[in-house]
Amino acid sequence: MSVPWRRALVIGNWKMNLSVSMAAHTARSIAALVRDAPDREVAIAPPFTALTTVGAAIAGGPLVLAAQDLFWEEEGPYTGEISGPMLAEVGVRYVLVGHSERRVFLGETDRNVSHKVAAALRAGLHPVVCVGEDLEARTAGRQGQVVRDQVARSLDGVPRHEAARLAMAYEPIWAIGTGRAATPADAAEMHSLIRNELGAIFGESERSIRILYGGSVGEKNADDLMSRGEIDGLLVGGASLRPAEFGRIAGFRGL
């Protein structure tokens, strides 16, 4: 089971889905199914267009608002970008940084990610830093080195006293949206590797950092994943768009 002093975290990443009205409806449906529990925290990350509406729909309930990305500057001539202060103003608590889809489709680098982590911290947000290897690296047995490098580079410059505001998400690229999830044992092994790298960076302060698993998470594997002490939470994609299923995932029995 998850380590007691790290409260479990489950985040639903809606990606580029749902109109504003459908997002609000989905958020209310999920909120009705998720209980407010002291041992876990549940967040949803709608598209930028729905953040304000979803935030209002879940206010006062058990759900927390998250965002899918941010830019590394506070303001300026950056067409199409969203800043940390803008997210904070509408009630966002968590923000995904370096999701594999942004790395793969938009060419986001570890250096970009490190700038975004710093921007999130400056804005008072809690960055969820995503790392994970592709199928080629996994097949070649290089997953450990790839992920260690991503962790070190993505967190470059983060001061030790900020560690408690960080979360990590291990999301093997080969498992995202494919229906092929890592086994709980494989995920736990990579989480332990990430934990060791965090220890090398932050010392004992790493104990407060939660490490989530993401990649084809569903109601069939959520309990098994969360039964592993190395796994502190889940980053859920497609299943988070289905309120009944996401409600069951968020109510995992692994603790």
Residues designated catalytic: 99, 171
DSSP 126-148: EEEEEE---HHHHHTT-HHHHHH
Which tokens belong to 60? 């006062």
Strand intervals (E) in 74-145:
94-97, 126-131
Distance CA 171, CA 134 (A): 10
Distance of CA 254 to the CA centre of its chain: 19
DSSP 189-222: HHHHHHHHHHHHHHGGGGGG-EEEEESS--TTTH
Distance CA 161, CA 193 (A): 22
* Cβ–Cβ < 8 Å for 108, 148: no
